[in-house]
Amino acid sequence: MAIMGWWSAVLLVVVTALPLRIAQAPAPDVVARNLAENVLGQGTVQRIQVSSGGALVDIAWEAALYRPTHTIQKNREQLRGEAEIATGSIMGVMRPEMITFAILLKGRTLAAGWRTRGGEFAITFAPDLGG
């Protein structure tokens, strides 16, 4: 019985002396990037900034669905859908007050806009896409 007590004490000392590795949650910008890239494709997010304690997200990504062979109307529909899905994925998990976004094509802005937690959504297109 005394031996069992001795081993219990050693085990207790060993277990409490080992450093605990507690998983830290990823930074908010990493979470936002991952959420957007889950729907847009890996490596598409070019810029991401989460500020004001997570209340504001600013994101820019390379257009995933734009095709120069599509009509202007088709590209506008595709870019709008892309923006709704990407910002919706962030909004649904992180719940920021506002997301501002830009959709790029080789550094050129094809569309830009914003989305609020209240459900408001706005998008403006480049002049060659009808403004």
Strands 98-105, 121-125: parallel, antiparallel or unpaired by DSSP? unpaired
CB 111 within 8 A of CB 79: yes
pLDDT tens string for the chain (131 positions)?
A: 555 555 555 445 444 555 667 888 899 999 999 999 999 999 999 999 999 999 999 999 999 999 999 999 999 999 999 999 999 999 999 999 999 999 999 999 999 999 999 999 999 999 999 99
Q: What is the pLDDT of residue 97?
A: 98
- Which of the listed CATH numbers 3.30.200, 2.30.29, 3.30.70, 1.20.120 matches domain 26-129? 3.30.70
Q: How do the domains of the chain map onto residue ranges?
A: 26-129
Q: What is the DSSP string of 23-60?
A: PPPPPHHHHHHHHHHHHH-TT-EEEEEEEGGGTEEEEE
Confidence at residue 28, expressed as pLDDT on a 0 to 100 scale: 96
Alpha carbon distance, N-terminus to C-terminus of the chain? 84
